[in-house]
């Protein structure tokens, strides 16, 4: 057995629970009681949905081994922002939004990053629980155990732009990805394009699936035939975008327009087009998604879907801080609107 919170091996459960030098974890109590971590969390937080005999068994172990939920009145006047990895301007926009909201409310921000090899993933939750921030905004996706640990310690959290489906009670802030995908594709259709390719993101990522569904909806609404061969999945970076575009543009019946799942992929399309001797937008129209600062700086400036990343981060921070103050909120799931920003990378197709 291993201690879920520390990752250190423990030979016997009783050894862990009986060691006064180490804090008792809800994972250890759950294993001793033969129940799940969320069940122990429900008992600790006084929530319903636990059988009476199970509740009594868990409460007895809590009493016996001295687990105590920290008092919610103690405030650190700090919040935490958790990333998998900060590797491009997308992450910097989020930091900007969080800092803006935190500064207005005079709250400090602790930034946690797993790193490229995710070697901190085992330990970040331990550090967060020890620091006990007032709240947490997580760009990294929290699993069920981590959510339970945060709730047990009275640390409210908000998930930023979730990549997987979340339980109904998990607060989140995202964007209207489906509407954005539809708007981008509709713009290209209105320009006169009929062979519109999409470089989609990883299939497992929720926002990428929504953008792809929006693309398909616009194609269908325009009465155009579905062309699955024009959809290529790729990583959300410039290199993978270029590789996908190179494959699409190398076909005899190449597309006249490409909708990329994000701006970094769109930069890869620019590179692939130039290497193929194609001009943007004379020979190929390109639309991105995110509207990062670089979208205005490339040549030609990129038509893209504006995702309000700074506003999303500000909203997520304000929601997390409101939850930390014990305020009741009307919504715990918010989606901010995306809008089409037209620049010079799109034009009607060449005759």
CATH superfamily of the domain spanning 13-65: lambda repressor-like DNA-binding domains (1.10.260.40)
pLDDT in tens, 261-275: 999 999 999 999 999
pLDDT in tens, 273-290: 999 999 999 999 999 999
pLDDT at residue 46, as a whole number: 64
Average pLDDT over residues 60-84: 73
Beta strand pairing status for 303-306 and 285-290? parallel
CB atoms closer than 10 angstroms to residue 20: 8
In what order do the strands lie in the sheet containing 78-83? 108-113, 78-83, 135-138, 157-160, 172-175, 333-336
pLDDT in tens, 195-236: 999 999 999 999 999 999 999 999 999 999 989 999 999 999
CATH 3.40.50.2300 residue window(s) in the chain? 78-172, 177-308
Mean pLDDT, the chain, whole residue set:
85
Helix (H) or strand (E) holding 170: none
8-state DSSP, 70: P
* pLDDT > 70 in the chain, percent: 86
Alpha-carbon distance of 125 to 130, in angstroms, equals 9
CB 158 within 8 A of CB 316: yes
CATH of domain 78-172: 3.40.50.2300
* pLDDT > 90 in the chain, percent: 54
Alpha-carbon distance of 3 to 25, in angstroms, equals 8
pLDDT at residue 238, as a whole number: 95
Length of the chain: 351
CATH 1.10.260.40 residue window(s) in the chain? 13-65
Q: How far apart are the first and last CA of the chain?
A: 68
pLDDT in tens, 134-171: 999 998 888 888 888 888 888 999 999 988 888 888 99
pLDDT at residue 116, as a whole number: 54
CB 26 within 8 A of CB 67: yes
Average pLDDT over residues 111-118: 67
Between 124-131 and 144-152, two packed helices, what is the crossing angle to 10 degrees?
A: 10
pLDDT at residue 68, as a whole number: 58
User: Would the pLDDT of 182 be above 90?
Assistant: yes
pLDDT in tens, 237-257: 999 999 999 999 999 999 999
CATH ID of 177-308, from 2.60.40.420, 3.40.50.2300, 2.30.42.10, 3.40.350.10: 3.40.50.2300
Burial code (b: 16+ CB inside 10 Å, e: under 16) for 84-111 equals bebebbbbebbbebbbebbeeeebebee
């Amino acid at each position: 057995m291993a201690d879920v919170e520390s990752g250190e091996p423990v030979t016997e459960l009783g050894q862990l629970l009986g060691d006064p030098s180490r804090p008792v974890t809800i994972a250890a109590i759950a294993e001793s009681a033969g129940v799940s971590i969320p069940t122990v969390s429900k008992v600790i937080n006084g929530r319903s949905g636990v059988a009476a005999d199970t509740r009594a068994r868990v409460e007895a172990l809590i009493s016996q081994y001295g687990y105590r939920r920290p008092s919610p009145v103690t405030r650190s006047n700090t919040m935490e922002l958790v990333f998998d990895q900060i590797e491009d301007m997308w992450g910097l926009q989020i930091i900007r939004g969080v800092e803006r909201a935190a500064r207005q409310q005079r709250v400090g921000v602790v930034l946690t990053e797993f790193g490229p090899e995710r070697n901190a993933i085992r330990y970040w939750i331990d550090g967060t629980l020890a620091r006990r921030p007032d709240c947490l905004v997580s760009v990294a996706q929290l699993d069920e155990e981590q959510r339970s640990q945060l709730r047990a310690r009275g640390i409210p959290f908000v998930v930023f732009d979730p990549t997987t489906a979340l339980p109904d009670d998990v607060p989140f802030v995202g964007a209207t990805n489906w509407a954005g995908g539809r708007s981008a594709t509709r713009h290209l259709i209105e320009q006169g394009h009929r062979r519109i390719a999409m470089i989609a993101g990883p299939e497992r990522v929720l926002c990428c699936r929504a953008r792809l569904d929006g693309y398909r909806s616009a194609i269908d609404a325009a009465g155009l035939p579905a062309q699955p061969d024009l959809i290529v999945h790729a990583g959300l970076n410039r290199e993978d975008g270029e590789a996908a575009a190179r494959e699409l543009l190398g076909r005899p019946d190449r597309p006249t327009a490409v909708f990329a799942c994000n701006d970094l992929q769109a930069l890869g399309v620019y590179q692939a087009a130039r290497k193929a001797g194609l001009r943007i937008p004379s020979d190929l129209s390109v639309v991105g998604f995110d509207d990062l600062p670089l979208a205005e700086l490339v040549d030609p400036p990129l038509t893209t879907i504006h995702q309000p990343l700074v506003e999303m981060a500000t909203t997520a921070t304000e929601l997390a801080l409101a939850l930390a103050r014990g305020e009741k909120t009307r919504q715990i799931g918010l989606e901010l609107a995306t809008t089409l920003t037209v620049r010079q990378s799109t034009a009607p197709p060449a005759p």
